[in-house]
Amino acid sequence: MATTTLHASTPLTERVGGLTAERLRGIRRGLEKESLRATPNAGLALTPHPAALGSALTHEHITTDFSESQLELITGVHADVDSCLAELREVHQYVYHVLREQGDEMLWVSSMPCGLPTDETIPLGRYGSSNVGRAKSVYRMGLGHRYGRRMQTISGIHYNWSMPGIDSAAYFGLIRNFRRHAFLPLVLFGASPAVCASFVQGREHALQPFGEHSMYLPHATSLRMGRLGYQSDAQSTLAVSYNSLEGYGASLQEALTKPYPAYEAVGIRNPGGDYNQLATSLLQIENEFYGTIRPKRVIRPGERPLHALRERGVEYIEVRLMDLDPFEPLGIAASTMRFLDVFLLHCLLSDSPPDTPEEIAALARNQQRVAARGREPGLVLEQDGRERVLTEWALQLVDECTPIAQAMDAALGGEGHMAALRAARAALLAPETLPSARVLEHATRAHHSSFTRFTLQHSLQTRAQLLALPFPQALRARFVAASDASIEAQKRIEASDTMPFDVYREEYLRPERLGLGLKRRGSAAAPQVLQAAAL
């Protein structure tokens, strides 16, 4: 299949016209949704990952993210939005039935966490006694040392997306444009303008009091994506370029291999011999690199993600800036996913000049401004060295997406993509209808300006709504079988381990494993490394 080649002289509408219905129907998407388990008093559940949900190490659809208390629900790859959401709904149903059987926990429906205990008592994810299981926990211990455990309890929803006939260069062009225009989905779908006061206790911040045990910023869209969220002063020193796979790989290689003084001071182990972190480099592993979007490639057993990208190119992209929508039972609406499909096509088909260090810095400033003040009337952003009113720029982008939405509707049937565009335009013109504004309005009107009370009520409503849906015995039996199979798979991994963990860690982190042309070693180390598929 021919790859997409873009020429700067070709108008966007002509590029859209060049897409066949077959290619548009070939778009694939999948979801990864994180949620904290919470108690009825809006506190963090400190119970272990429920055994009935299977092994967090090996289950295909149910795992944990940073914390033992933080579920991650994963769909497969889908040819349409509705089937993707249907699968996510089934996974949610099983989880809620298990939680009901073991007690009264629920999934917290906001990205910003529920009431948190002291940092050191937030439980790290546990994955068993195998080398790969231990490595996953040590990695999380390192995240806690580097950024604090509270920050890691922030949850979101990741949107994985691909289209046939796209090569790595075109995907990187998409990524550059997404980063330039990320303010648009941040404004439209940001839903975390407030936090529980426990999240910022003892930290410097510019938040304002917001009722009982809550803090907020009046025009914020997504505190999750702002200074209090997934940000790192250390990683801000990384000026990663997205101009090519080669340059991107080189930037990450240095961050993954060069010692970083502050993390050298933490050390690999503590005085008692327990591991503090996997490595003293700026990034322990590739997944530690924060960003609004990532190039991705499915990895082979034991392969490092960066090596997979370098060896075989970009296979799909992962959009990482989406907040959980507390007004949607699954955390994201079908219309949102259709908007993202159209928006990502716009990013792919539009001119995408190379980025520069100056632009990268300006984009970071734009993100901070929109996260904290995105609904502020007249807010201006930086575009090509000049100021641009956010609303004007956003409306232009939405209008430019019109022929793409029309093409998608023509290829897939219905009017869902155009409806999503119309809803986006209407929301930009009436910012009080944006999710971030609705959160504050609902919390103020019905919950005494309490973020915690608002989210607790919506978490309870969501639990009741999903438990009320039909859940056939055959579907339950399928999930039970998957959980049992995952537990057996973990046991097999643990039984096959023969290598000391010290050796395993060093082997997995060898710089040679990041490079091109890696040859599998014929030593006894190889079978152990094969279990290190995803830390």
pLDDT in tens, 327-337: 999 999 999 99
Q: How high is the pLDDT of residue 532? A: 45
In terms of pTM, does the model score above 0.75?
yes
Kindly state the average pLDDT of the residues 465-474.
Answer: 98
Q: Which of 244, 363, 311, 365 is nearest to 516 (CA)?
A: 311
Residue 186 in this model has a pLDDT that exceeds 60: yes
pLDDT at 527: 35
Q: Which residues sit opposite 37 in a β-bridge?
A: 107
Q: Which two tokens stand for residue 126?
A: 């546990």
Task: Give the pLDDT mean for 122-139.
Answer: 97
99-130 per-position pLDDT tens digit: 999 999 999 999 999 999 999 999 999 999 99
Cα of 112 vs its chain's centroid, Å: 14
DSSP 429-477: H-GGGSHHHHHHHHHHHHSTT-HHHHHHHHHHHHHHHHHTS---HHHHH
Q: Phi/psi zone of residue 42: left (φ > 0), alpha (ψ -120 to 50 degrees), beta?
A: left
Per-residue pLDDT tens digits for 506-516: 999 999 999 86
Range scoring the smallest mean pLDDT among 9-18, 72-81, 129-138, 274-283: 9-18
The Cα 416–Cα 395 span in angstroms is: 19
Counting other chains too, the contacts that 471-474 makes at CB distance below 8 Å and 24 or more residues apart are: 471/93, 471/94, 471/97
Write down the pLDDT at residue 534.
63
Task: Give the model confidence (pLDDT) of 439-464 as tens digits.
Answer: 999 999 999 999 999 999 999 999 99
Taking only the tens place, the pLDDT of each residue in 360-418 is 999 999 999 999 999 999 999 999 999 999 999 999 999 999 999 999 999 999 999 99
What's the chain's average pLDDT? 93
Residues in CB range of 166: below 8 A, 6 or more apart = 3, 4, 174, 314, 348
pLDDT in tens, 287-326: 999 889 999 999 998 899 999 999 999 999 999 999 999 9
Q: Which two tokens stand for residue 208?
A: 């304002």
Would you state the pLDDT for residue 312?
A: 96
Residue in the structure block whose two tokens are 């609705």 = 438
Looking at residue 188, its amino acid is: L
Give the pLDDT mean for 418-428.
98
Torsion of CA 303, 306, 307, 313, to 10 degrees: 120
